[in-house]
Amino acid sequence: MKLFDSEWKVMEVLWQENDRTAKEISLRLADSIGWNKNTTYTVIKKCIDKGAIERREPNFVCHAAITKRQVQKEEADSLVDKVFGGSAELLFASILSDRSLSKDELARLRALVGDWPLLAGHAVTTLAEAGIGLAAGIALGALAAVAMDRFELLYRAFYPLVVLTQTIPTVAIAPLLVLWFGYGMLPKVVLIVVATFFPITVGLLGGFKSVDPDEIDLMRSMGASRWQIMRHVKIPAALPQFFSGLKISAAYAIVGAVIAEWLGGFSGLGVYMTRVRKAYSFDKMFAVIFLISALSLVLMWAVEAVRRIAMPWERVKGDQGE
């Protein structure tokens, strides 16, 4: 699907803000680029005709019928077909032959493109370890936060221990885990759980403790159970701090997996880094560092996207503030 520049501007609002009424889109674009109402509505109708936007009633709500990734892929495929005869190799050859790039930039780009199949295989292993470890860290951190919020004695006894775990360097724990659990996936997952447990626990617990006692007393006076108080008062209050901790944990998960792979393993970006370092292939080292940074940023972006979905009232507050 070919989108013109004006249509891109409308779609960007929907991709970033999710479903919006035509009026809201018009106000956003009027503030950002000075469009008037008629211009915005005309472009919206063109997007509807193309199938990029689905109109929903009431209130002329606009829903993005295609994702940004789909449009980017179609545009890229169209460029490759039109200019390079359908050959991705010619596209990369053209980029690599561009003399405006420095020698270091060319070396890193060649390393990233040339080793991409191998890097992709190692990246899948690292992402699997990070995903499993992060999920386990979230589950254990949430259980610990709920338990310490429920029992004051448990909070006083174990919270200092939770803080103490963060004073031990991750690099110091990793060799012990490899010795205890071998070279498989388990020591990597355990290290990621240790790294991600603290931000999740502290974030949720801080959110629970920040609830106004008067709100809890009000719920109790209305006959609410502990679970109802947790669901309707404490969890919504703790979500902002939870997602802040989750962003940190998402980055820790990738870094923790790579550190564990440095010290032992058969696959993963950390294993790849160790091999290219021993071979003094510094161009490939920079390529894998770039890939690790990109994966961390993607995970943090995914957390932000989930946060926007899980906390729709924040978006409403932002609209009212504007």
- Residues 132, 26 share a domain: no
Tell whether 239 is covered by a domain. yes
Sheet with strand 20-21: strands edge to edge:
20-21, 61-64, 53-56
Q: How confident is the model at residue 226 (pLDDT cuts 50, 70, 90)?
A: confident
Tell whether 178 is covered by a domain. yes
Structure-token match 């790849």, residue found: 272
Q: What is the pTM of this model?
A: 0.60
Yes or no: say if 303 and 265 are a contact pair by the CB < 8 Å rule: no
Containing domain of residue 23, as a range? 5-66
Tell whether 163 is covered by a domain. yes
Average pLDDT over residues 111-117: 59
- Residues 146, 45 share a domain: no
- Residues 140, 226 share a domain: yes
Tell whether 103 is covered by a domain. no
- Residues 231, 144 share a domain: yes
Residue 59 main-chain phi, psi, to 5 deg:
75, 15
- Residues 130, 25 share a domain: no
CATH number of 25's domain: 1.10.10.10
Task: Report the chain's C-alpha Rg in angstroms.
Answer: 25
Q: How far apart are CA 53 and CA 3, in angstroms?
A: 12
- Residues 283, 165 share a domain: yes
Average pLDDT over residues 152-174: 80
* Total domains present in the chain: 2
The pLDDT of residue 89? 56
Q: How far apart are CA 161 and CA 174, in angstroms?
A: 19
Tell whether 23 is covered by a domain. yes
Sorted by sequence, the CB contacts under 8 Å of residue 117 that are 6+ apart come out as none
Tell whether 131 is covered by a domain. yes
- Residues 27, 141 share a domain: no
Average pLDDT over residues 115-124: 74
Tell whether 138 is covered by a domain. yes
- Residues 129, 59 share a domain: no
- Residues 305, 200 share a domain: yes
- Residues 153, 59 share a domain: no
Q: Does residue 261 carry a pLDDT above 50?
A: yes
Q: Does residue 322 carry a pLDDT above 50?
A: no
User: 66, 83, 100 — which closes off a domain?
Assistant: 66
3-state class (DSSP) for residue 311: coil
- Residues 230, 156 share a domain: yes
CATH number of 188's domain: 1.10.3720.10
CB atoms within 10 A of CB 87: 12
Yes or no: say if 216 and 235 are a contact pair by the CB < 8 Å rule: no
Tell whether 294 is covered by a domain. yes
Q: Does residue 234 carry a pLDDT above 80?
A: yes
The pLDDT of residue 109? 57
**Percent of the chain residues topping a pLDDT of 70:** 83
Average pLDDT over residues 253-273: 80
Q: Does residue 171 carry a pLDDT above 80?
A: no
Query: Which residues is 62 bridged to in the sheet?
Result: 20, 55
Average pLDDT, the chain: 80
- Residues 142, 59 share a domain: no
User: 66, 82, 104 — which closes off a domain?
Assistant: 66
